[in-house]
Structure 1
Amino acid sequence: MNASLSLAERTRQALVDGKEILRGDPISGDRYYSKEFMQQEWDHMWTRTWQVGAVEAQFPDAGCVVTHEIGRESILMVRDDEGRIRAFYNVCQHRGNRMVECEETKVRRLVCGYHSWCYGLNGDLLIAKDSEDFPQGNPVGKLNLKELCCETFGGLVWFNMDREAKPLRESLGIVADQLEAYEMDKMVRVMHLTCEVNCNWKVIQDNFNEAYHVKALHKELATHIDDDYQNTTFQIFNNGHSRMLMKGSLPSGGGKSKKVQAPLDDIMRGWGLDPQEFEGRVHEVRPALQKQKRALGEERGYAQYANLTDDQLSDYYHYTLFPNMSFTMAAESYQILRPQPHPTDPEKCLFDHWYFVRPAKGEKEAVTPLGMWPMEAAAHEVFMHGEKSMGFVADQDLSVAIAQQQGLHSRGYEDAYLAGQESRVRRYHEVINDYIAGRV
Structure 2
Amino acid sequence: MTDESPAWPLWATEHEAAANAAAQEYGTLALTAPCPSCGASVRPDQRYCENCGADVHPEVGPVARAGVTTEETVKFNRPKASTPPCVECGGEVDADGYCQTCGAKAPSARDHFEAVPASWLAGVCDRGLVHNRNEDAMALWAASEPDRAAVLVICDGVSSSQDSDVAALAAAERARDVLAERRANSSDDRGSNSSNPDDGRWSSSSKPLADADEPDPLSTALIEATAEAQQAVIEHTAPDSPNAASCTLAAAVVEDGLVHWASLGDSRIYFLADDAHVQLSTDHSVAEELIRGGASRVEAENSLQAHAITRWLGRDADNIVPDTGVFAAPSDGWLLLCTDGLWNYASEPTALAEQLQAASAESDEPVKIARQLVRWANSQGGKDNITVALARLAANLNRTPQAPSDDLNEPAAGASASSTSVEEKD
TM tier relative to shorter chain: under 0.3
Structure whose residues are more often strand by fraction: 1
Tell which has more relative contact order, 1 or 2 (C-alpha 8 A, sep 6+): 1
Structure whose residues are more often helix by fraction: 1
